[in-house]
Structure 1
Amino acid sequence: MSVSFLATGRRRIFKGAPLTVLTLVAAAFACWVIYANIFVISDPLVLGILFVSSIYTLLFVVIGHSPRAPNRPTYLDWALAALSLAAGIFFFLNAKEISDRISLLQPFTTAQFFFGSALLFLTLEATRRTTGLGLTMVVGLFLIYNQFGYLLPPPFGHGISSFSYLLDILIFTTDGLFGVPIQVVASYVFLFVLFGTLLSKAGGGNFFFNLAASLTGKSPGGPAKVAVISSGLYGTMSGSPTSDVVATGSITIPIMERLGYKKRFAGAVEVAASTGGSAMPPIMGSAAFILAEYTGTPYREIVYAAIIPALLYYLGIFLQVHFRSVRHNLRPYEDDVPPLAETMRQGWPYLIPIGVIVGVLMVGYSPVFTAGAGTLAVIVASFMTSGTRMTPWQIIEGLGETTLRILPVAGACAAAGLVIGGLSMTGLGMKAANVILMVTSGVDVLTLVIAAVVTIILGLGMPTPSAYILAAVLVGPALAKIGYPDFQSHMFLLYFAILSALTPPIAVAALAAAAIAQEDPIIIAVDAVRLAAVGFLLPFVFLWNPAILGLADPASVVLASLGGVCAASAIAVSLEWVCFPGGAGMAWLLRIALVASGIAAVAPVAAVSLLGIASVGTILSIVYMHSRRVAAAGDDKAVAAK
């Protein structure tokens, strides 16, 4: 299925001397980012200016203007790169004058107006090349509204009609292009991506895959279970559904197909599991760092809050995969699976960096210091065994690869900064919230459903950070107005922004899996949504029972966790298991009762939760005993037939 709407520019492949030069330049930039974040206190505006202009300079050389662009940079690419560099030099040399300038009162000089307008245009082109027309058109529409919205009648009209006013807010302050999204990318995100890149470069990805294979490879549906576990583990390094699908799916999907698994199922398992990587602590996707900045919540607390939901998400997928594997008698691995002891003996150093990340976060250090400590731990750990030792050039390659991986994230977050600046300038966010509440009449459940749908729609074809940012500024105020706490509301929006990667009709993660499985991405996405059913229900639980996020006393958190396990099990059994007693009618009644009991199990009232947990346990026991009787009867018939 071709989705030209999502087409991005061609990622050029360099070889020989050009590749070496690009790697060295990108690595030097990565070293500057590390220095600027860890060893000096930079002015946010100066850091943003240098980061964006440098990234754009590389971006226009590395990514072509279209999917059919030549592999060598064109004159246009070099011109845009040169303009990006010139803009950065101008802003850097005049940083003090720009910082001291009184916005909206002092007129622009000719040079300020030219380079400011140039950065606005360069951001749109960078967004188009890295994310496609989807996000670019959204940004364009918001810019048109910012410029001409004064022509609209109330409540959507505003009083701004000057392009200079727009340029002043979006480019010459930290409320627009150089705002929170780019600040986060230039600090937390870059350093954590560096950690993941070096860990993968040292062989961490292979270790996580072998660990998953050692644990589940020989059980029914072994390759599918390996895909679930390895994708979750790999997600701690990448935080990107698409890159997770490509990295782990290129191994797991062909194996599943070779063993007779349906292509749609093989692709769907990988998509559902890889998408959850963006919510898997301790290194969640870049949107989580933006959430930390928006809500003022320490990243350590976000990690704590995300642990239980992430485990429940993967529990739901794992159980569905298991039940479907048993039902269809899906084969385990045919190849030799490494023993767990051997896997741990060879790969135990890879656990040290993860432990350092967790330990430093628990102590209370900043995310920047945590990422730096984790990165240093990767390099040190790689020298503990001869098979994992990194060479100096591998470290340089890891630094350069990190910079290149950041290109699309920076393009998306720069564009999101333009949207945020325009929304705050025109007040559209509060206006959108009022419209949502008017449509729903302030009914909580209906407001939450619309918020979820709007967030998913905003995320269709967009990177997760962009989807979350747009939802936060457009939908977040509506949730605040009906009384939901800020942090829980933003976790709600973050999850649906993540899930938009697997939701039809676009489902960017499914597009990546479809290329590997050679199957229709819509078919893969539909099956992935079913496998990720627990994930679509979890955000509603965040707001109903905060204990699932750890926001309660220990006893309530333990009860909520147990209720969550029961609810995930209930959903998995009701969706995948067919051996219910009493015929079709009774089976559907038991399914409905099972789901209802699962919902009760995560209720915020202890008595209701305990009743739900007991009900789930009772129904599952009935279903299990019935399935055992059916299996025994089948065995007796088989013996009699012989």
Structure 2
Amino acid sequence: MIGNILGTGRRRSFDGRPRLTLYALSAIFALGVVYANIFALPDALLIGILFICGIYTLLFLTVGATMTSPDKPTIFDIVLSVSSIACGVFFYSIRGDLANHITLLYQLSADKLIFGSILLLLTIEATRRTTGPGLTVVVLIFLAYNLFGHHLPPPLGHGYIDFGSFIDTLMYTTDGVFGVPVQVAGSYVFLFVMFGCLLTHAGGAEFMFKLSAALTGRSPGGPAKIAVVSSGMYGTISGSPTSDVATTGSVTIPIMKRLGYPPRFAGAVEIAASTGGSALPPVMGSAAFILAEYTGISYRNVILAALIPAVLFYLSIFLQVHFRAVRLGMAGMDTEDSALDALRTGWVFVVPVIIIIVALLAGYTPTYVAMFATLSLVGASYLTRATRMTPRRMLEGLGETTLRMLPVAGACAAAGLVIGGLTMTGLALKASSIVLLFAGSSEFLLLVLGAIIAIIVGLGMPTPAAYILSAVLIGPAFAAAGFSLLSSNMFLLFYAILSALTPPVAVAAFAAAAIAEEDAMKIAVTAVKLAAVGFILPFFFVWNEALLANGTWLEVGVAAIGGLAAVTLLALVIESDMSWPMRAVCLAAATAMLSPYLAVAIPMLMIVLAIGIWWKRTGGLPFGIGRSARRLDVGNTSS
């Protein structure tokens, strides 16, 4: 009973005319969002209100109240959907008052209080249906704290907040539900999700798999490498680990199992690679847009900063897969297709990627970058018959865009409620003070606490909500400690992303478990091992910002090359059977190569490269050290 009340709702499946109607309405809504962002450009509060009310209208019809809800919407669902429309109509009718509204200056009128309260309840129910108990309970706790926290003793207590002021702040300003997360979800994120959906319906996901198979399939551990490469390419666009696992994992996991990989390892490779897509340029899912909007750092600088860490993260997974395959004698796939064969039929999908990169480098905003990419995709699709965007594909792509945004919009609105509550009560500054008090003068301990809090906040939550809540709670403490705005927010973003595969929740693992037919927690534990470099890297790029492409050309170059060598050593440490003293030596060498001090990093990098060349030529290390690691042929990394 309690599970039904607190759990997520059932995503309904429609067939025939109801499905066509749903997709048509969703496509019309998607076109409305495009028009609002490109041509109408109303104020941020109004566009956020209309976006959320429109999303809720469809959400309550397509997501049932519980997992046992019937296939057809119930009377209760219809009432909630109609209430969402009513709220949208009301807020649009008072758009003139909203433009001139001054928060807390006057008491809200009765109608504003009623409709604001209705929209608050709709937001809580939408959050519960789409994200489940985790975020919903957090929201309810913060709402209760806002209304009743004045009864608590100092320092946790705050001044009295009456219900009218509470609704005014949360529903009639951009400090609550319609804050940065919803504004970003209704603009950049929506448009890039639209690009990804249209790309998939044109055959882009199939092209990515074929290209990955051609590049890596025949090498040792080929199927697992295909999962790494294809999941990364798809994940940067989708920004959803669960969606990525369901899309690419349904192909890669069964192939890995057929060729002898344990189900646990097959599922772990898929979710580790899928999770990292949110950190991989040029799109980086939705959280990167929120980071750019929240911090004021340009999106171009965000993706440049993420490039080296993302490459190192995927290289570490790729090398672990390779080393394990060599050690266990895992064969590659028998495939006749080459990369040229894949490009011969799918070259049209390269065009929008080039457009994205060029538009970003030219300084266009993410909104226009997404539109340029989408228009170039649609135009290029007509150059080959197999990829042509027919009216049916367009309808399904646009409709799926809106339907994919339902859980994202619900999570972003809920995050806005929490942020508004933190702003009203000053709890964010109190939380930062408490963290600083525990950390004392230790910057390393502060980072550890920040990482733990970001992961805990992110358990069971979508990445955007996890990041923004972490940034609000921990960001002030990082700023007080002197960490730069870019490095501290990238730090929190990485851990918000990694929370998707971290036990005990590990949302992405459940999607992989259903395909791999293995226990989700076993998959998650193995995925954490594969993603170990991702948990370590954020500490290093806070220490050495050259890893975020912030420094001179020499500093960035040394950091990039040193990072490649360091990640190779770390992958060896994880996957080989070398002795513990040798592991300690490798870890020390990796740390030195990632150092911000060139006088330390460059000599160590030269030593490691010299040893690597010796190893490749002779099959062993100089001076007879590390004999137990010889079972791994690190020179055999051809793909």
Q: The TM-score by the shorter chain falls in which range?
A: over 0.9
Aligned pairs for 1:185-204 (under 5 A) are 185-204=185-204
Instruction: For 1:209 and 1:7, locate their aligned partners in 2 and report how far apart those are by CA, in whole Å.
Output: 34
Residue identity matched to 1:507: A
Instruction: For 1:618 and 1:559, locate their aligned partners in 2 and report how far apart those are by CA, in whole Å.
Output: 16
Instruction: For 1:295 and 1:230, locate their aligned partners in 2 and report how far apart those are by CA, in whole Å.
Output: 31
CA shift digits 1:396-423 (9 cap, x unpaired):
2111110000000000000000111110
Change (3 A) 1:285 1:190: same
Q: Residue 37 of structure 1 aligns to a residue in which SS?
A: helix
User: Is the CA contact (8 Å cut-off) linking 2:4 and 2:66 kept in structure 1?
Assistant: no
Instruction: For 2:215 and 2:174, locate their aligned partners in 1 and report how far apart those are by CA, in whole Å.
Output: 48
User: Is the CA contact (8 Å cut-off) linking 1:202 and 1:388 kept in structure 2?
Assistant: yes
CA shift digits 1:51-85 (9 cap, x unpaired):
11110000000100011111110000000000010
User: Is the CA contact (8 Å cut-off) linking 1:287 and 1:465 kept in structure 2?
Assistant: yes
Q: Residue 40 of structure 2 aligns to a residue in which SS?
A: coil
Cα distance, 1:612 vs. partner? 2.6
Q: Deviating runs (4+, > 6 A) in structure 1?
A: 3-6, 628-631
Matched, 1:148 2:148: yes
Cα distance, 1:621 vs. partner? 5.7
Instruction: For 2:604 and 2:524, locate their aligned partners in 1 and report how far apart those are by CA, in whole Å.
Output: 31
TM-score, normalization by structure 1: 0.95
Matched, 1:88 2:80: no
Instruction: For 1:470 and 1:31, locate their aligned partners in 2 and report how far apart those are by CA, in whole Å.
Output: 30
Q: Residue 493 of structure 1 aligns to a residue in which SS?
A: helix
Residue 330 of structure 2 is matched in structure 1 by: 330
Instruction: For 1:618 and 1:495, locate their aligned partners in 2 and report how far apart those are by CA, in whole Å.
Output: 32
Instruction: For 2:65 and 2:310, locate their aligned partners in 1 and report how far apart those are by CA, in whole Å.
Output: 38
Residue 611 of structure 1 is matched in structure 2 by: 603
Residue 125 of structure 2 is matched in structure 1 by: 125
Which moved further from structure 2: 118-127 or 610-619? Answer: 610-619
User: Is the CA contact (8 Å cut-off) linking 1:185 and 1:409 kept in structure 2?
Assistant: yes
Change (3 A) 1:4 1:472: farther
Change (3 A) 1:318 1:361: same
Residue 550 of structure 1 is matched in structure 2 by: 549
Residue identity matched to 2:41: I
Matched, 1:496 2:488: no
For structure 2, the 5+ residue unaligned runs are 632-639
CA shift digits 1:360-414 (9 cap, x unpaired):
1110111100000000011011111122111012112111110000000000000
Cα distance, 1:611 vs. partner? 2.7
Instruction: For 2:517 and 2:5, locate their aligned partners in 1 and report how far apart those are by CA, in whole Å.
Output: 20
Q: Residue 233 of structure 1 aligns to a residue in which SS?
A: helix
Change (3 A) 1:35 1:331: same
Residue 518 of structure 1 is matched in structure 2 by: 517
Change (3 A) 1:5 1:506: farther
Residue identity matched to 1:379: V
Residue 372 of structure 1 is matched in structure 2 by: 371
Cα distance, 1:607 vs. partner? 1.1
Residue 50 of structure 2 is matched in structure 1 by: 50
For structure 1, the 5+ residue unaligned runs are 581-586, 635-642
Residue 68 of structure 1 is matched in structure 2 by: 68
User: Is the CA contact (8 Å cut-off) linking 1:218 and 1:337 kept in structure 2?
Assistant: no
User: Is the CA contact (8 Å cut-off) linking 1:276 and 1:313 kept in structure 2?
Assistant: yes
Instruction: For 2:175 and 2:542, locate their aligned partners in 1 and report how far apart those are by CA, in whole Å.
Output: 29
Residue 99 of structure 2 is matched in structure 1 by: 99
Residue identity matched to 1:271: I
Instruction: For 2:408 and 2:203, locate their aligned partners in 1 and report how far apart those are by CA, in whole Å.
Output: 24
Residue 588 of structure 1 is matched in structure 2 by: 580
Instruction: For 1:278 and 1:136, locate their aligned partners in 2 and report how far apart those are by CA, in whole Å.
Output: 23
Residue identity matched to 1:128: R
User: Is the CA contact (8 Å cut-off) linking 1:600 and 1:611 kept in structure 2?
Assistant: no
User: Is the CA contact (8 Å cut-off) linking 1:566 and 1:613 kept in structure 2?
Assistant: yes
Residue 602 of structure 1 is matched in structure 2 by: 594
Change (3 A) 1:206 1:137: same
User: Is the CA contact (8 Å cut-off) linking 1:597 and 1:615 kept in structure 2?
Assistant: no
Aligned pairs for 1:281-296 (under 5 A) are 281-296=281-296
Aligned pairs for 1:298-447 (under 5 A) are 298-334=298-334, 336-447=335-446
Residue 638 of structure 1 is matched in structure 2 by: none
CA shift digits 1:200-244 (9 cap, x unpaired):
110010111000000110111110000000001111221111111
Instruction: For 2:607 and 2:502, locate their aligned partners in 1 and report how far apart those are by CA, in whole Å.
Output: 32
Cα distance, 1:99 vs. partner? 2.9
Residue 482 of structure 1 is matched in structure 2 by: 481
Instruction: For 1:338 and 1:442, locate their aligned partners in 2 and report how far apart those are by CA, in whole Å.
Output: 58
Residue 506 of structure 2 is matched in structure 1 by: 507
User: Is the CA contact (8 Å cut-off) linking 2:237 and 2:285 kept in structure 1?
Assistant: no
User: Is the CA contact (8 Å cut-off) linking 2:4 and 2:67 kept in structure 1?
Assistant: no
Residue identity matched to 1:608: V
Instruction: For 2:541 and 2:291, locate their aligned partners in 1 and report how far apart those are by CA, in whole Å.
Output: 15
Residue identity matched to 1:46: L
Instruction: For 2:435 and 2:58, locate their aligned partners in 1 and report how far apart those are by CA, in whole Å.
Output: 41
Residue 265 of structure 2 is matched in structure 1 by: 265
Instruction: For 2:447 and 2:472, locate their aligned partners in 1 and report how far apart those are by CA, in whole Å.
Output: 15
Residue identity matched to 1:215: L
User: Is the CA contact (8 Å cut-off) linking 1:594 and 1:616 kept in structure 2?
Assistant: no
Q: Residue 283 of structure 1 aligns to a residue in which SS?
A: coil
Residue 634 of structure 2 is matched in structure 1 by: none
Cα distance, 1:289 vs. partner? 0.5
CA shift digits 1:148-183 (9 cap, x unpaired):
111111111110331111111000111101111000
Residue identity matched to 1:329: G
TM-score, normalization by structure 2: 0.95
Q: Residue 101 of structure 1 aligns to a residue in which SS?
A: coil
Residue 561 of structure 2 is matched in structure 1 by: 562
Residue identity matched to 1:169: T
Instruction: Name the Cα RMSD after superposition.
Output: 1.8
Instruction: For 1:81 and 1:39, locate their aligned partners in 2 and report how far apart those are by CA, in whole Å.
Output: 28
User: Is the CA contact (8 Å cut-off) linking 2:428 and 2:473 kept in structure 1?
Assistant: yes
Instruction: For 2:69 and 2:78, locate their aligned partners in 1 and report how far apart those are by CA, in whole Å.
Output: 14
Residue 248 of structure 1 is matched in structure 2 by: 248
Residue identity matched to 1:568: V
Residue 639 of structure 1 is matched in structure 2 by: none
